[in-house]
Amino acid sequence: MKGTFITFEGVEGCGKTTQIARAQAYLCAQGRPVDVTREPGGSPIAEAIRRLLLDAENTAMTPVAELLLYEAARAQHVEERIRPALEAGITVLCDRFADSTTVYQGAARGLDRAHVTFLHEMATRGVWPDRTIVIDVPAEEGLRRATQYGSDRLEREHIDFHRRVREGFLTLAREDPHRVRIVDGMQSVDAVADAIRPLLDEILGEP
C-alpha cells in the first residue's frame, strides 16, 4: 500500500489523544495527507460497537464476547476506512489497534494469545501498523488522569488489570523493537511530542 499506518498505544490516560493531535499537526505542516481515527470505532458500525464495549453498565460481558466485539469493530474499520486511506497514499494515525487487543484481552484478561492472533488475521486481512508508538506511564498515573471526569467500563477495572496492560505493552516492545517504540509519557506534553517526531520521520522518511 502507498500510505503509512502509524498507531498509538498505552494504558488508559497515557496521553495518546493529545499526542496524535500533535503528530497530525506536525505531518500536515509537511504537506502530508493524514487521516486520524480510533479503535474501537472509526466507522459508523464500529462506533456503535464501541458504545457497547465501553458502556459501564455492561458488567456481565465475558472476555470472549469482548474479544469478538473488538475484532468485529476492527474488521469493519479496516475495510471501510483504514485500507482505502492507505491505498490512496494517506498516512493513517490510529488511536489503538490490534496491539491493544493482544494486551487487554490477551495479557490482561488471560485469553490464549494464539486465538487472539488468529482473530487479528481474520479482522485485518493483512493491514498492520508500520510503526507503533507506546506512550508509557505507570498504570496508577494513567488511571488518575483518565478518571478525573468519570470512567468507562474498562477504566473501572482493578488496578492489577491495568498493571498487566502496561507490562503487556512493554513486552510487545521487547518482542518487536523495530515496529513498537516506547516513549516516556511522564515528560511534559512538549517533550513527549519532541520524542515522537523522530519516530515519525524514521518510518515516513524526510519530508
C-alpha cell at 13: 490516560
Residue 166 structural domain: 5-204
Q: How far apart are CA 205 and CA 181, in angstroms?
A: 17
pLDDT at position 149 is: 82
pLDDT at position 202 is: 97
What Rg do the C-alpha atoms of the chain give, in angstroms? 16
Could you tell me the pTM of the whole model? 0.95
Q: CATH code at 132?
A: 3.40.50.300
Percentage of the residues of the chain whose pLDDT score is greater than 70: 100
| The Cα angle at residue 103 between residues 125 and 173, in degrees rounded to 5 | 90
Residues in a beta bridge with 37: 94
The pLDDT tens digits of the residues spanning 145-188 come to 999 888 999 999 999 999 999 999 999 999 999 999 999 999 99
pLDDT at position 1 is: 74
pLDDT at position 207 is: 67
100, pLDDT greater than 80: yes
Q: How far apart are CA 73 and CA 152, in angstroms?
A: 18
Q: How far apart are CA 183 and CA 52, in angstroms?
A: 31
Q: In b/e form, how buried is each residue of 72-111, taking b as 16+ CB within 10 angstroms?
A: bbbbbbbeebbbebbeeebbbbbbbbbbbbbbbbbbbbeb
Number of domains making up the chain: 1
